[in-house]
Structure 1
């Protein structure tokens, strides 16, 4: 097996016409950081993270702090390196930017490892399925009604069978009106999900969940603060709505807490926050032990191949942000996505789209 010789860090951005908002954040740029590692024999492994406009110097610094730690490691030693770096990170905290930096190197190592083997990661890890349902995500609360309708109807025209929109307006009745318009726009055969990004109070989340029952909401994502486990339990028991969460979590501990309360229906790990491939799969296995399906957060180009390797992978989230920036965007047909057959993750960022960070 081959050792890591060097690494480089790059930045890039997707096009954003104007700021977009959910219930808790306003996003002014869609930016990414990309890490490329190179082995002594010249094999490149690549991974990226979604950074938006937040703390660019902090996350770049964390990546560079971690980078030298990986020089000399064999690319297949993903588990060993995770454990050793996790121990190092304990001083300043295993959660937050250290975990993000740890994950991006883990994912780049997997890319290089599978390229050396000449196989896509979903074949290396073992395959349960070869296609995954995927839903169209967006529906920002900053959208006008026309923008909202245009987005969801465009998803349907492209063959998507499910859409998710943001909720968490100051008055939950406005959320209800927007959900009704979405239902009217997409028809009765398209699933609708809603996501409050932790931005609602428990009483408002209960009111919206009950009132939206007639619209037919498939599940409610992050209705309240992700640490309010009793609130999730209460919302589940009193309204019966299916609840989803997981994107904010740096470990499986919140999953365990919600399992004990029978207060979670869908687990949504974020591969970067949770720490990379092994941590993602470990959390999926815990969810699977309690018959909880996995439907991850954001990173479709990583999640689709990984979902193919677990029995309880049921779907993925789709944003088009990186598609113009990479060489092989995922192909989505009739609401289904298939993993790449190329070695590793199966895609790379175009050189002309990247700016090296020195």
Structure 2
């Protein structure tokens, strides 16, 4: 029999997780961004009157952490006293509370941490991993490494790190491209393909730094390497360009990570503008809108490879019917006590309830802002 419950307390904090070394992609080389040195997490912890807890998080890179925390602090009190199981209702309520500043972007990303905590709580209460609560299609998801393929690293280092990833059991390797000299990109891809062999799944990511003409030319030049996909070849919002490019290349085209609302992602799905959908739960408002878009993509049989945050996306990818990958980054591992298991080219869905995560005590030292909301003022 269902026992009514209500949210008693919410804790929010911003945690700045340092990277082992700064990394550079094409956006840095074109002068649009600075090298990345840390990942800012917006962490939400929710407690209920019956003693259940949920842990969720969102993130941002470079700017935005202060804004995310501020918006979450404003909308979180709406959850106090509410039934934590009514996730869709609560997501809608938080979204409409800040509708005057939009239903995407920072507002959606602030809500994502709370929404994810609610899903984690629900799965923990059921005693199930989140993937099982959602209805898993598999217990392991193919994974590929990205963190070893950034542009600040000489190609010899990229190859060494790729080999180490494959020896660890990771199933594919992604390289950053999009440099001002396109010949350098082709040389690096050629060197890595020759070093790893033809059987290793290989992907490239241009981080939106090509125009339509360059993307078509580079896409054609990359065809012989039989890549799994070309990621973000164009500006993230160029729906028409992605659609035309995907139609003209044999190599699959992937995008979606920089879109910041379910509505934006849905437009790409409806148009069939990409072959591989790469939306990001923390960026579009959490697990609730992610699942809505995934359902649309599933009806069309689209492949899916969610961006970053493997700790969340592993569960969501496992619950997706069609071809899917999960992206391996070790960057957030220091913030949590648990580690995800990888073997035979796949990331294994943990058997722990919920997301299967708990914050490491060193996150206290990286906390930049925090607040507790309990309904008493």
> Aligned residue for 1:9?
12
Cα drift, residue 252 of structure 1: 4.0
Of the three residues 229, 245, 251, the one matched with 1:235 is 245
How many aligned residue pairs are there?
358
Cα drift, residue 258 of structure 1: 3.6
Q: CA contact under 8 A between 1:198 and 1:224: conserved in structure 2?
A: yes
Q: Distance in 2 between the 1:343 and 1:256 partners?
A: 30
Q: Deviations over 1:111-130 (max 9, x none)?
A: 11222222222222222221
> Aligned residue for 1:317?
327
Range moving further from structure 2, 197-206 or 218-227:
197-206
Of the three residues 113, 121, 135, the one matched with 1:126 is 135
Q: Deviations over 1:2-30 (max 9, x none)?
A: 21111112333444243212122331223
Q: Distance in 2 between the 1:310 and 1:262 partners?
A: 18
1:264 equivalenced with 2:264 (yes/no): no
Q: CA contact under 8 A between 1:199 and 1:223: conserved in structure 2?
A: yes
Q: CA contact under 8 A between 1:133 and 1:315: conserved in structure 2?
A: yes
**Unpaired runs of 5+ in structure 2?**
28-32, 372-377
1:71 equivalenced with 2:80 (yes/no): yes
Q: CA contact under 8 A between 1:156 and 1:186: conserved in structure 2?
A: no
Cα drift, residue 255 of structure 1: 4.3
Range moving further from structure 2, 50-59 or 62-71:
50-59
Q: CA contact under 8 A between 1:255 and 1:287: conserved in structure 2?
A: no
Q: TM-score, normalised by structure 2?
A: 0.89
Q: CA contact under 8 A between 1:136 and 1:318: conserved in structure 2?
A: yes
Distance of aligned partners of 1:258 and 1:110 in 2 relative to their CA distance in 1, 3 Å threshold: closer
> Aligned residue for 1:357?
370
Aligned residue runs from structure 1 range 141-156, under 5 A: 141-156=151-166
Q: Deviations over 1:70-102 (max 9, x none)?
A: 111111111101111222221111111110111
Q: Distance in 1 between the 2:55 and 2:101 partners?
A: 26
Of the three residues 184, 198, 202, the one matched with 1:192 is 202
Distance of aligned partners of 1:259 and 1:303 in 2 relative to their CA distance in 1, 3 Å threshold: closer
> Aligned residue for 2:125?
116
1:107 equivalenced with 2:116 (yes/no): yes
Q: Provide the alpha-carbon RMSD of the alignment.
A: 1.8
Q: CA contact under 8 A between 1:173 and 1:208: conserved in structure 2?
A: no
2:306 is paired with a residue whose SS is coil
Q: Distance in 2 between the 1:295 and 1:247 partners?
A: 10
Q: CA contact under 8 A between 2:340 and 2:350: conserved in structure 1?
A: yes
Q: Distance in 2 between the 1:258 and 1:11 partners?
A: 32
Distance of aligned partners of 1:112 and 1:256 in 2 relative to their CA distance in 1, 3 Å threshold: closer
**Unpaired runs of 5+ in structure 1?**
none
Cα drift, residue 327 of structure 1: 1.7
